[in-house]
Amino acid sequence: MSPEDETRERIIQGAAQVFAQKGYEGATTRAIAEAASVNEVTLFRHFGSKKNIFMAVIERFSALPGLETTMQDQLTGDYRQDLIKLGSHFLKTMLKRRKAILMSLCTAERLPEIRDVVAQPPTQQQQMLSSYLRQQIERGAVRDLPSPELAAKIFFGMLFEFAISRPLITGTPIEHIPPGEAVAQMVDIFVRGTTN
């Protein structure tokens, strides 16, 4: 990794910490620079604005990079197993980054200028899965869906809701379901709803 890349990485890591602690509005470029052990001039030279830093953090810590890798390298065409791989990666990322995701969503609600930034990873994830669903429709493994885009949104929506609400569902049988088992159950429901 070049010195420039190392500096960029330190800024992203430092920004992630500051955004997680203070939110977008409370995070200052000075605090981000201090967390990254750089000066503000370096920070602006690499990213130009706090919004651009936030965008880099969202891109880095979303489930999207891992999903792209999974879709390119690990899918076999076995519909159920492919969805389990995708769902497992997505849920693992959501559970690990739950607080940061919630902060991003709350910030996007208040600040329209970053709404598009926060919406990009979920939109791209849904596009990737809807493209996969279309391939499965062409192969005859999936019934002709009126909207593969909506089906992709439903798939990720089930997993997202489980991850976000998991700490809140204490005292219910759901809280004791391991994530891997939850993914398998959700995939089975989804597969039954999308196949003949």
Query: What domains can be seen in the chain, in order of their start residue?
Result: 3-57 (1.10.10.60), 62-194 (1.10.357.10)
pLDDT at 68: 77
Contact 33, 42 (CB under 8 A): yes
Instruction: Report pLDDT digits (tens) over 87-118.
Output: 999 999 888 888 778 878 878 888 887 888 88
pLDDT at 166: 76
In the structure, what pLDDT confidence band is assigned to residue 64 with cuts at 50, 70 and 90?
low
Report angle CA 116, 26, 59 to the nearest 5 degrees. Answer: 35
CA distance 13 to 8: 9
CA distance 91 to 50: 28
Mean pLDDT across the stretch 144-149? 97
pLDDT at 63: 63
Of 16 and 67, which is predicted with more confidence? 16
CA distance 68 to 86: 9
Structure-block tokens of residue 86: 């995708």
pLDDT at 27: 92
CA distance 178 to 158: 15
Q: How does DSSP assign 48-76, residue by residue?
A: SSHHHHHHHHHHHHSSHHHHHHHHHHT--
Residues 6+ apart with CB under 8 A from 79: 136, 141, 142, 191, 195
Asked whether residue 65 carries a pLDDT value surpassing 70, the answer given is no
* One-letter identity of residue 61: F
Of 72 and 33, which is predicted with more confidence? 33
